[in-house]
Amino acid sequence: MSAYVVRRVISMILLLLLLTFVVFILFSLLPTDPARLTCGKSCTPEIIEANRHRLGLDLPVLQQYWEYLKGIFVGRVYAQDSPDPVVCSAPCLGYSFKRGEEVFILIKEGFPATFWLALGAFVMWLAAGISVGVYAALHRGKWQDKTVMGISLAGYSLPSFFLGLMAIFFIVIRLQLLPYPSYISPFENPTQFLQTMILPWIVLAILYAAFYMRLTRNQMLEVLGEDYIRTARAKGLPERIVIRKHALRAGLTPIVTAAGLDLAGLLGGAIITESIFSLPGIGSLAVNSVNDADLPLIVGITLVTATFIIVANLIVDLLYAVIDPRVRLA
């Protein structure tokens, strides 16, 4: 078990290294010249060349990559030989000269909003998706099942911007049930936090719950036909225990996988939802970085998002072994 974990962690680190390399090379192959992007229309070739040197862009690509990698672990100093060097401390994911800030710090500042959005929506969609999915499975083929599946299909095919804009339009603007969303930390002002987050949570949760209802329902239908469910009933267990303890437990594995990967994906930023509800999260940051062609920031966000997914993959795999004793971690 522990040898397996060590092996998985090592291969995960190698994968992350490979990822940084691929991302770095991809972005350096872009026709856009990052040095040119450092100043506006008034740029003279001299300034561009000076900036190229300051950013280390005049080095060979591989060496640039090496500097970048080193920066992640030990930090780095841009424009060391100039009168005003820029310090980027470890973990340095690059420096946004557009914003005059370290990429890592920009991402760190965006993380709380993204984190709370993802976590709240995650809890809501899992609770709703699983319970409604079980309910549908227990009424398979009946009108309850058909209604749930119909709603799920609708939720599935609704674009999130539509749902989000409708929510803002009706609930905030027309009915004025909630103030206009304005993000604040839950520790600073919990009421305003909840007022801001409730709509984006619901919008995201609806989109995801639709999928989890289907998944749970289908899993339950499959598991309820298993022999060990018949055994559980033959023991005289009450039906709710048969469902919760025996059936749901057995059908959990794919739900956990999907949930882990979905959560990780959301931690990398929910672009549309964050933008609609003006949440200052990683998703909004990503949109802005693209709009400004802020290359170091784009690279940084890409890396962080991909890292979440890779780590989630590992966690989900380890969870398998917790859920299913037949899974041997070897």
Partner 1 sequence: MTDLSPAPRRAYIEVEDLSVQFPTEDGLVRAVDGVTFSIDKGQTIAIVGESGSGKSVTAQAIMGLVNARTADVTGHVWVDGQDIVGMTDDELRKMRGSTMAMIFQDPMSSLHPFYRIGAQLTEAVNVHNKVSKKEARDRAIEMLQKVGIPSPEKRIEDYPHQFSGGMRQRVMIAMALINSPSLLIADEPTTALDVTVQAQIMELILELQQEYNTAVVLITHDLGIVADAADQVAVMYGARVVESGVIDDIFYKPEMPYTLGLLASVPRLNQVRADRLDPIPGNPPSPIRLPSGCVFNPRCVYKDRVEGDLCATERPALLPTDLGHMVRCHMSKEDREAVATIALGTLGRETA
Residues that bind partner 1 (CB under 8 A): 226-228, 230-239, 246, 249-250, 323-326
In the complex with partner 1, the residue whose CB is nearer, 46 or 227, is: 227
Give me the torsion for CA of 18, 21, 25, 27, rounded to 10°.
Answer: 100
Closest approach of Cβ 85 to partner 1, in Å?
Answer: 58
In the complex with partner 1, the residue whose CB is nearer, 41 or 326, is: 326
Q: CA 126, CA 111: separation in Å to the nearest integer?
A: 22
- What is the gyration radius of the CA atoms in the chain, in angstroms? 24
CB-based contacts of 219-225 (< 8 A; 24+ apart in sequence)? 219/133, 219/251, 219/252, 219/254, 219/255, 220/133, 220/134, 220/137, 220/138, 220/247, 220/248, 220/251, 221/137, 221/140, 222/251, 223/247, 223/248, 223/250, 223/251, 224/137
In the complex with partner 1, the residue whose CB is nearer, 169 or 228, is: 228
Closest approach of Cβ 234 to partner 1, in Å?
Answer: 5
In the complex with partner 1, the residue whose CB is nearer, 100 or 325, is: 325
In the complex with partner 1, the residue whose CB is nearer, 33 or 239, is: 239
Closest approach of Cβ 251 to partner 1, in Å?
Answer: 11
Q: CA 30, CA 305: separation in Å to the nearest integer?
A: 20
Closest approach of Cβ 246 to partner 1, in Å?
Answer: 6
Closest approach of Cβ 147 to partner 1, in Å?
Answer: 18
